[in-house]
Amino acid sequence: MRTMFRAAATFATAATALVAMSGAAQAKPADGTPWDGCPSGAVCIYGQGVDPDANPHPTNVYYSYGAHNLSNQVGDHWILNNQTGGATVSVCNGYNGTNCTQTIAQDWAYRLDFTPINSITLNRP
């Protein structure tokens, strides 16, 4: 029994470490509620080095579909997609939604190096 408990604890610790290293998370509450300060229907970006769990105050909040240019966003930032209806958000190296490199599904968050990122696009489902 102890061996099974130790194995389960080791697995849980390894799984937690894997998520922490990847910079991705999916731990959003039910639709219609804020998620770490990000309102339902929005995409939020948090300040450089800020953990949304510990400091649920996004610096940028976006609601409208289309491209949004960014400025003064360098280093690691969390981006949370709290949109509804299956909408996605893309991160783009160019301005005006060009040269997009990654798409983030609804209810997912990533910690990314925003230094090369110059815009995001909120995409209709």
* CATH number of residue 52's parent domain: 2.60.20
- Total number of domains constituting the chain: 1
Cα distances from 5 to residues 1, 2, 40, 104, in angstroms, run 6, 5, 38, 35
Give me the domain span that covers residue 108.
Answer: 24-123
- Report field, pTM of the whole predicted structure over 0.85: no
Measured CA to CA, the distance from residue 80 to residue 121 in angstroms comes to 13
Provide the pLDDT for residue 24. Answer: 64
Residue 3 resides in a domain: no
Tens digits of residue pLDDT in 30-87: 556 789 999 999 999 999 999 999 999 999 999 999 999 999 999 999 999 999 999 9
